[in-house]
């Protein structure tokens, strides 16, 4: 025990049977359960895609692109880890197949393998292991949780499983495998079936690994006979290593639930970590508060509708949704979020008045031209009817365009993203971005990651942040055109309450004669967590609550 105490430990989280069973939530929860015991814990994601990052993927196919402080465009699960661990992670905690191959090929070109034949096995898994260890060292973690994307049995993630196998073989006491599986209850049969999970474990076995724990996702509780069967058929050391995980009201209840099932204690035992009691008081208080909130706050999220692809709007805007939920709970309100398709307002302009029923209107980030005229109709409605408005990135840019058109009378005012020939380019491109576009350099070339922003005292933004310097994460190509600052301030009552002083860029706008109208060039949603709800989201929902009265 003594000499294993300080060795870094690793937990691989894999998915069995099907996707979307909540691997990310389980990985985040386990990380939090360890952190609550004062272990240093970090979580990382391995995506099977050949893409180098998530930035060039369509959100309807991949879901949200989560941006880290250091400007990496990653998977939405990184957001889960940050929210549960209340910390900021870097690009070291994210890898894709593309990224792994790219560095192996680059190293080979630089004679980094000293003339050896470079092979898929072992060099690819060895590079994966390098990266896992690098993340461990950088975060100085006692325990590193590694979520392997995809499902057991598919071809794509086999080299990542091989990395896990190699690590486990070298240090069996330092590596554990958690399989998150799904146990269907077919309605015609009416009973929970374990066979798909057994088959998934067999597939895992064929990769040379076994599950130390199986998280049994289902709509109902796992009963004793099935637990015993799983233990027997899936080589579990103890029947209690099959953990029941029924559907819960919110993902934030999952760590509390898994703790109650004894998972935390069992993980410590398996990894030969010293026994410690968890301290989850603050988390429990937060969950309790969220469950108590009964009065509603109604928020409309206006954007173009994604009607195709595997992912829905909810996946594409998960951080926005979570930030809104957290802010609502901290305002003791139950969030009721409604997706509004802005294209409806282009087809039927009068319909925009339906927005009067909401307590707040939010326009999230976006790209392209579809639906933006409808979005601007919604923004105008919020502005004129004095409904609290929060614009994120595109939501800020389009608010500026809307006011330039309506209050400055600038016909044809636009963002050059939508009309490169606009006579009044309210949102434009700086020379660096112009060159990127000319050269078709789209991967990883937007303004990405954390930038400081100076807040003007006395503004609503300042009231929210209670600070004069803040740091927020960006992901956009276009910027506010400062030539329009003066006219918008004078004729539209716009206040430029947040500026990037280093590059003289407008980061936050708000309106003088409006209860709460704020637009931000960055993505505040990436920095909201259960134990640290974001000040602007809190301010927006508080304004919505006041408005509802």
Which residues sit at the interface with ligand GLN, rule CB under 6 A? 365-367, 393-394, 397, 417, 475-478
- For ligand GLN, the closer of residues 365 and 530 by Cβ is 365
Q: Residue 184 is encoded by which pair of tokens? A: 């269907």
Specify the 3-state DSSP secondary structure of 507.
strand
CB of 383 to ligand GLN, least distance (A): 19
User: Which residue in the list 393, 424, 514, 534 is annotated as catalytic?
Assistant: 393
Contact 204, 161 (CB under 8 A): yes
CA distances from 413 to 152, 392, 481 (A): 52, 20, 11
CB of 153 to ligand GLN, least distance (A): 36
Q: 222: buried, middle or exposed (CB in 10 Å: 19+, 13-18, 0-12)?
A: buried
User: Which residue in the list 147, 453, 525, 534 is annotated as catalytic?
Assistant: 525
DSSP per residue over 308-357, as a string? SSSS-HHHHTHHHHHHHHHHHHHTT-EEEEEEEETHHHHH-GGGGGGGGG
Residue in the shown chain whose Cβ atom is closest to ligand GLN: 365
- For the four alpha carbons of 416, 419, 420 and 423, in that order, the dihedral sign comes to negative
Specify the 3-state DSSP secondary structure of 455.
strand
Contact 14, 180 (CB under 8 A): yes
What sections of 171-253 are H helices per DSSP?
195-206, 224-233
CB of 397 to ligand GLN, least distance (A): 6
- For ligand GLN, the closer of residues 257 and 367 by Cβ is 367
- For ligand GLN, the closer of residues 417 and 507 by Cβ is 417
Query: What are the b/e assignments for 74-90, b being 16+ CB within 10 Å?
Result: bbbbbbbbbbbbebebb
- For ligand GLN, the closer of residues 337 and 372 by Cβ is 372
Tokens 């050059």 sit on residue: 416
- For ligand GLN, the closer of residues 299 and 393 by Cβ is 393
Element (H, E) at 133: helix 120-139
Does the annotation mark 525 as catalytic? yes
Contact 57, 148 (CB under 8 A): no
Specify the 3-state DSSP secondary structure of 376.
helix
- For ligand GLN, the closer of residues 165 and 523 by Cβ is 523
Q: How far is CA 135 from the centre of its chain?
A: 19
What sections of 363-430 are H helices per DSSP?
372-385, 394-406
Rg (CA), the chain: 25
Q: Residue 179 is encoded by which pair of tokens? A: 């399989």
- For ligand GLN, the closer of residues 424 and 475 by Cβ is 475
Contact 185, 220 (CB under 8 A): yes
Tokens 């300042």 sit on residue: 462
For the chain, give the longest Cα–Cα distance.
Answer: 75
Does the annotation mark 523 as catalytic? yes
CB of 136 to ligand GLN, least distance (A): 32
Eight-state DSSP code of residue 157: T
Cα 247 to Cα 241: distance, rounded to the nearest angstrom: 19
CB of 520 to ligand GLN, least distance (A): 10
Cα 238 to Cα 549: distance, rounded to the nearest angstrom: 55
Helices then strands, counting H and E runs in the chain, come out as 20, 21
CB of 475 to ligand GLN, least distance (A): 5
Specify the 3-state DSSP secondary structure of 536.
helix
- For ligand GLN, the closer of residues 184 and 365 by Cβ is 365
Q: Alpha-carbon dihedral of residues 443, 444, 445, 450, nearest 10 degrees?
A: 160
- For ligand GLN, the closer of residues 264 and 374 by Cβ is 374
Q: Residue 29 is encoded by which pair of tokens? A: 């929860």
User: Which residue in the list 123, 474, 514, 523 is annotated as catalytic?
Assistant: 523
- For ligand GLN, the closer of residues 142 and 417 by Cβ is 417
CB of 325 to ligand GLN, least distance (A): 21
CB of 314 to ligand GLN, least distance (A): 17
CB of 38 to ligand GLN, least distance (A): 37
CB of 20 to ligand GLN, least distance (A): 25
Active site residues per annotation: 393, 523, 525
């Amino acid at each position: 025990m003594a000499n294993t105490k300080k060795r870094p430990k690793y937990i691989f989280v894999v998915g069995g049977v099907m996707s979307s069973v909540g691997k990310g939530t389980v990985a985040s929860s386990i990380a939090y359960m360890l952190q609550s015991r004062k272990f240093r814990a970090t979580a990382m994601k391995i995506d099977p895609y050949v893409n180098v990052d998530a930035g060039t993927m369509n959100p309807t196919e991949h879901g949200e692109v989560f941006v880290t402080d250091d400007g990496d465009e990653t998977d939405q699960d990184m957001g889960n880890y940050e929210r549960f661990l209340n910390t900021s992670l870097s690009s070291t905690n994210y890898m894709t197949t593309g990224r792994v191959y790219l560095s192996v090929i680059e190293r080979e070109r630089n004679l980094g393998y000293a003339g050896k034949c470079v092979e898929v096995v072992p060099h690819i898994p060895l590079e994966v292991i390098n990266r896992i260890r690098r993340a461990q060292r950088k975060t100085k973690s006692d325990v590193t949780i590694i979520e392997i994307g995809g499902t057991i049995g598919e071809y794509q993630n086999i080299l990542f499983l091989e990395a896990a196998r190699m690590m486990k073989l070298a240090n069996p006491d330092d590596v554990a495998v958690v399989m998150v599986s799904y146990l269907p209850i077919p309605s015609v049969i009416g009973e929970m079936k374990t066979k798909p999970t057994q088959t998934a474990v067999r597939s895992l076995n064929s990769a040379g690994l076994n599950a130390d724990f199986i998280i049994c996702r289902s709509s109902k509780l796992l009963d004793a006979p099935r637990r015993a069967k799983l233990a027997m058929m899936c080589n579990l050391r103890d029947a209690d290593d099959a953990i029941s995980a029924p559907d819960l009201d919110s993902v934030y209840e999952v760590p509390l639930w898994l703790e109650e099932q004894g998972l935390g204690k069992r993980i410590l035992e398996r990894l030969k970590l010293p026994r410690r009691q968890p301290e989850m008081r603050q988390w429990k208080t937060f969950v309790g508060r969220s469950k108590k909130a009964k009065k509603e706050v109604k928020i409309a999220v206006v954007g173009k509708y994604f009607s195709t692809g595997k992912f829905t709007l909810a996946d594409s805007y998960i951080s926005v949704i979570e930030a809104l939920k957290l802010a609502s709970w901290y305002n003791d309100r139950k969030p009721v979020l409604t997706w509004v398709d802005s294209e409806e307002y282009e087809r039927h302009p009068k319909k925009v008045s339906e927005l009067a029923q909401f307590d707040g209107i939010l326009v999230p980030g976006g790209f392209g031209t579809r639906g933006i005229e409808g979005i601007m109709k919604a923004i105008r409605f919020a502005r004129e009817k004095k409904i609290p408005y929060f614009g994120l990135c595109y939501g800020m840019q389009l608010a500026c365009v809307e006011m330039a058109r309506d209050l400055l009378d600038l016909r044809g005012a636009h963002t050059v993203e939508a009309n490169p020939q606009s006579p009044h380019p309210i949102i434009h491109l700086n020379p660096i971005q112009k060159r990127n576009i000319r050269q078709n350099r789209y991967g990883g070339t937007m303004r990405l990651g954390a930038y400081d922003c100076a807040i003007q005292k006395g503004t609503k933004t300042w009231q929210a942040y209670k600070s004069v310097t803040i740091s927020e994460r960006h992901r956009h190509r276009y910027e506010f055109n400062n030539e329009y600052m003066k006219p918008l301030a004078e004729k539209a009552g716009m206040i430029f309450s947040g500026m990037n002083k280093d590059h003289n860029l407008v980061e936050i706008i708000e309106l003088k004669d409006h209860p709460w109208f704020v637009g931000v060039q960055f993505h505040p949603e990436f920095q909201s967590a259960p134990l640290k709800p974001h000040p602007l989201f809190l301010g927006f929902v508080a304004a919505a609550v006041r408005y509802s009265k």
